[in-house]
Amino acid sequence: MNFRSHRRVEVDVNLTPLIDVVFLLLIFFMVSTTFTKASQLSIDLPEATGEVSETPDNEIEILIDEAGNYRVNGRALVDTQLRTLQAAIYKISAGDTTRPMVISADAQSSHQSVVRAMDAAGKMGFVHLSIATRQPAEPSARGG
């Protein structure tokens, strides 16, 4: 009997295509990821139960009524556009972004109106921004 010796073929897995696919996926995810730069505006939130502070003479006050209309230092604006609000702030501040600014919004005003006022101040470079609050009403002696 003539037995031939069978030559064993070594089985190996070529990892090069697998590594290529992993690198392509990595590059795809890196490129498709959106990188956002969140702009921040530092806000000094006053304590609702704190003492009433004196308002400086050079303070800029933005009032927002429940309909979302703006008043800058008591002067009503013609519309609620961001550019109109920025122009009114610039006219009063004369470009001085170090002046303190207070935003006073009605409790029923929309969140968008307050954010628009904060955005206008932030884009113009104002950093001393406060949001006015009122002290909570004292509970009555009857328990509520």
Question: Chain centroid to CA 10: how far?
Answer: 61
Contacts of 130 (CB under 8 A, 6+ apart): 43, 44, 45, 46, 100, 101, 102, 103
Asked if residue 8 is part of any domain, the answer here is no
Asked if residue 94 is part of any domain, the answer here is yes
Q: Which two tokens stand for residue 137?
A: 């009403």
Asked if residue 103 is part of any domain, the answer here is yes
Rg for the chain (alpha carbons), in Å?
A: 31
Tens place of pLDDT per residue across the chain (144 aa): 666 777 777 788 888 989 999 999 999 988 887 666 555 544 444 445 555 556 566 788 888 888 888 888 888 888 888 888 888 888 888 878 888 888 888 777 888 888 888 888 888 888 888 777 666 555 554 444
Residues in the chain: 144
- The pLDDT value recorded for residue 24 is 95
Number of domains the chain contains: 1
Asked if residue 89 is part of any domain, the answer here is yes
- The pLDDT value recorded for residue 36 is 63
Asked if residue 139 is part of any domain, the answer here is no
Asked if residue 68 is part of any domain, the answer here is yes
User: The domain that contains 114 carries what CATH number?
Assistant: 3.30.420.270
Give the domain extent around 70: 43-131
Asked if residue 137 is part of any domain, the answer here is no
Asked if residue 83 is part of any domain, the answer here is yes
